[in-house]
Chain A
Amino acid sequence: SAVISQKPSRDICQRGTSLTIQCQVDSQVTMMFWYRQQPGQSLTLIATANQGSEATYESGFVIDKFPISRPNLTFSTLTVSNMSPEDSSIYLCSAGGLAFYNEQFFGPGTRLTVL
């Protein structure tokens, strides 16, 4: 299995600012993903973080709003840019790949509140 940590665990931010969320995996993984979970809702995939290339974004999500970095096989960041109250959500990182028989493991999430 993989153990995933995220920082910060929660934050309260002002409208118009940006927040960068870090995701660290305790082993090398092929695939890393970022999800958003809005209050009382299911998880929606934002993007797949590709190591060494640009992230692959799902419909409705764009790089300017959610820039992602993946500098190596154990680490990724998601930035929520120019935040508005509608961005208040839990953001979850997950990781997986062939080494884990295609299971995905999730971090504890970052609870973001935008005022």
Chain B
Amino acid sequence: GDSVTQMEGPVTLSEEAFLTINCTYTATGYPSLFWYVQYPGEGLQLLLKATKADDKGSNKGFEATYRKETTSFHLEKGSVQVSDSAVYFCALFYNQGGKLIFGQGTELSVKP
């Protein structure tokens, strides 16, 4: 069945470091791909999305490109801030049925 696998956390970085959080997926169809962020004590917020192969989603300095050939959707940011400390979830989504399938989440901690 469909699944999403993320790199294990926690990931600890210094402020202004480069961030990559790996995400790979297994899908029987052609899903959309999402990154959600969960700040401490809060619900999930959509960070960015890509709906088809080679699409790049971007928001708040974060980027991810939908790579069908490597079944990946890695999250990147050039310079992280302390305020980026959160748990990041990669997810795939099929329009039909509307279900989200989440990865296990990656906790990011950014130190000043």
Residues of A within 8 A of B (CB): 4, 30-31, 33, 41-45, 48, 92, 94, 96-97, 102-109
User: Which residues of chain B come closer than 8 Å to A48, judged between CB atoms?
Assistant: 97-99
B binding-site residues for A, Cβ under 8 Å:
32, 36, 42-46, 49, 89, 93, 95, 97-100, 102-105
Asked, given contacts A41-B104, A42-B105, whether A104 binds B89 with beta carbons under 8 Å apart, the answer is no
B98 and A42: CB pair below 8 A? no
Q: Is there an interface contact between B43 and A107, defined as CB atoms closer than 8 Å? A: yes
| Contact flag A103-B43 (CB < 8 Å), given A42-B89, A45-B100 | no
- Whether A42 touches B95, Cβ cut-off 8 Å, given contacts A103-B46, A106-B45, A107-B43, is no
Chain A residues whose CB sits within 8 angstroms of the CB of B104 once the complex forms: 41-42
Complex A-B: 15 CB contacts under 8 Å: A41-B104, A41-B105, A42-B89, A42-B102, A42-B103, A43-B44, A94-B100, A96-B98, A102-B93, A103-B46, A104-B98, A106-B36, A106-B44, A107-B43, A108-B42
Give the CA-CA distance A33 to B99 in the complex, in Å.
8
B98 touches A31 (CB 8 A): yes
* Residues of chain A lying within 8 A (CB to CB) of residue B98: 30-31, 33, 48, 96-97, 102, 104
A102 surroundings in chain B (CB, below 8 A): 32, 93, 95, 98
**Which residues on the A side are within 8 Å of B102 (C-beta)?**
42-44
Q: Determine the residue in chain B with the shortest Cβ distance to A104.
A: B100
- Give me 20 other A-B pairs in contact (C-beta within 8 A), A42-B105, A92-B43 excluded: A30-B98, A31-B98, A41-B105, A44-B102, A48-B97, A48-B98, A94-B100, A96-B98, A102-B93, A102-B95, A102-B98, A103-B49, A104-B93, A104-B98, A104-B100, A106-B36, A106-B45, A107-B43, A108-B42, A108-B43
